[in-house]
Copies of this chain bind each other. A is one copy, B any other.
Amino acid sequence: KTLKIAALAGDGIGPEVMREAIKVLRAVEKKFALTINITEAPVGWAGIDAAGKALPDATLKLCKESDCILFGSVGLPDRDPTIPKEERPERAALLRLRKEFSLFANLRPVKLPKELSHACPLAKERQGTGIDILVVRELTGGMYFGQPKKTEQISAGASKATILRAIDTMVYTTPEIERIAHVAFKTARLRRKKVTSIDKANVLENGVLWRDVVTTVAKEYPDVQLEHMFVDNGAMQLVLKPTQFDVMLCENMFGDILSDEAAALGGSLGMLPSASLGSAGSTGQFGFYEPAGGTAPDIAGKNLANPIAQILSTALMLRYTFNLNDAALAIENAVGKVISDGLRTGDIFSASETNARKVGTTEMGDAIAAAI
C-alpha cells in the first residue's frame, strides 16, 4: 500500500524543518520497506504568493486525495495585518482545514528527554526519570462553539441604565464525549496505559456528564487505568508532580489551558509535535500533523530552527494515520539518540552541558535520518 501524504510546509521556518522531516521519512521508508508518496503544495503566504489565497484550490484538492496532511506552519506577523482577517493564513488555511476534515481530537505529547532537563522550568527532582505526557483535547465542542454565544444589552438597576451581558455556553453531548474518550484510551494502550480524565464535576453539569461517559467508555478498556481529576488540581499537579501523568483527557477549553501549561514543561516548543485527528474512515484515520511552534520568521532561512517538532510530527502521523507504530518508534528513538549524543540546536543548547554540540537545522535532520 502506498502512503499518500500532502506536505504543506507553509511560511517562515516551515520549509526548512519540512525538508528535514521528509529526509527522515525517506530513511524510514527504506528501513521499513514502505512506499511513501509525498506531494508538496503551498499554503499560507506561500499559497497567497503562488495562487492568490492561503489555501489554494489545488492544495485543498491534494489534501482531499491524501491520507493525511503533514503541515509546517503559516502566518507572518509583518504581512498578516495587510489583508482582511478572514483571508489571513490562520483562518483561511489552518481553521479552514480543521473544519474541512472535521478534526475533533487534538493530541499534544510533551516528552522531556532527561538530557534536556536543564531546559525544563521545573527543579530537577520534580522531573523524576523524565516527563512524558500526552494531552488529548476535544477540539470541536464546548465553550468555544456552544450556542448561545452573544453579548446583549440589558437594562438593570433602579436607574434602568443600559449595561452589557456576555454569554458563552459550554455544551457537550454523550457521543461527542464518547468519541474523544475512545481516542484517549486507544492511545493510552500505545503508552503506559493510564488515562487521567480532567473535569470540574463538582460544579459543572458538563463535568458530571463528562465523568459519567468517560467512566462508561473505560469499561471497554479494562487494561487501561482511569483516574479523574478536577481541572484546578490538574493545573497544580502538572507543576508539583508531572511524572504522575500519562494521558490527560480534556474537553476543549481545559485542554487548551493544560496543554499549554504542559508544553511549558517540555523545554522548547521546537521539540513538540501535535496531531489533530478526524473520524476514522474505511481508508484509515485522517490526520493533520504539525509542530506546536510557529513560523519563527526571525530565524527563518538561517539554518537555526529546531526540526525535531516537525520530525516527531511525522512519527505521530505514522502511528495514528497509518498504524505503523514501529516506524513511529524508530523516529522517536532516533531523536532520543541524537539528543543523547549531545546534538543541540540553539533553542535547547546550554553551555553548562559538557558533551553538547551546537548544530544547525540540516545537521540535526541528517543525524536523525542516519540514526533511523
Chain A interface residues toward B at CB < 8 A: 120-124, 126, 143-144, 146, 149-151, 154, 156-157, 163-175, 200, 203-206, 208-210, 231-233, 235-240, 253, 256-261, 263-265
Contacts and interface: CB of A to CB of B under 8 A. Distances in A.
B154 A165 contact: no
Contacts of A240: 121, 264
Contact of A231 (B204, B210, B232, B257): B257
B156 A173 contact: yes
A208 B151 contact: yes
27 contacts: A121-B239, A122-B123, A143-B170, A144-B204, A149-B205, A163-B173, A164-B174, A164-B209, A166-B170, A166-B205, A166-B206, A166-B208, A167-B169, A167-B205, A167-B206, A168-B169, A168-B204, A168-B205, A200-B253, A231-B257, A235-B235, A235-B257, A236-B264, A237-B264, A238-B261, A257-B257, A261-B261
A99 to B, nearest CB: 14
Contacts of A146: 167
A232 B205 contact: no
A195 to B, nearest CB: 20
Given A121-B123, A165-B172, 9 more contacts: A144-B204, A150-B205, A154-B173, A164-B209, A166-B205, A168-B170, A168-B205, A235-B235, A235-B260
B144 A203 contact: yes
A326 to B, nearest CB: 33
A157 B174 CA distance: 12
Which of A170, A175, A209, A256 lies at the interface centre, i.e. has the most chain B CB atoms within 10 A of its CB?
Answer: A170
Nearest to A209: B166
Please give the count of copies of this chain that the complex contains: 2
B169 A170 contact: yes
A166 B172 contact: yes
B261 A239 contact: yes
A174 B143 CA distance: 20
A169 B205 CA distance: 10
B174 A163 contact: yes
B156 A205 contact: no
A206 B156 CA distance: 18
Nearest to A120: B123
Contacts of A124: 123
B170 A167 contact: yes
A144 B238 CA distance: 23
Q: Which 4 A-B pairs have the closest CB atoms?
A: A166-B209, A235-B261, A232-B260, A163-B174
Given A123-B122, A235-B258, A261-B261, A175 B151 contact: no
Given A170-B169, A204-B168, A239 B256 contact: no
A265 B256 CA distance: 21
Contacts of A233: 260
A124 B122 CA distance: 9
Which of A120, A126, A263, A264 lies at the interface centre, i.e. has the most chain B CB atoms within 10 A of its CB?
Answer: A264
Contact of A156 (B163, B175, B257): B175
A141 to B, nearest CB: 10
Which of A149, A171, A205, A210 lies at the interface centre, i.e. has the most chain B CB atoms within 10 A of its CB?
Answer: A205
Contacts of A172: 165-166
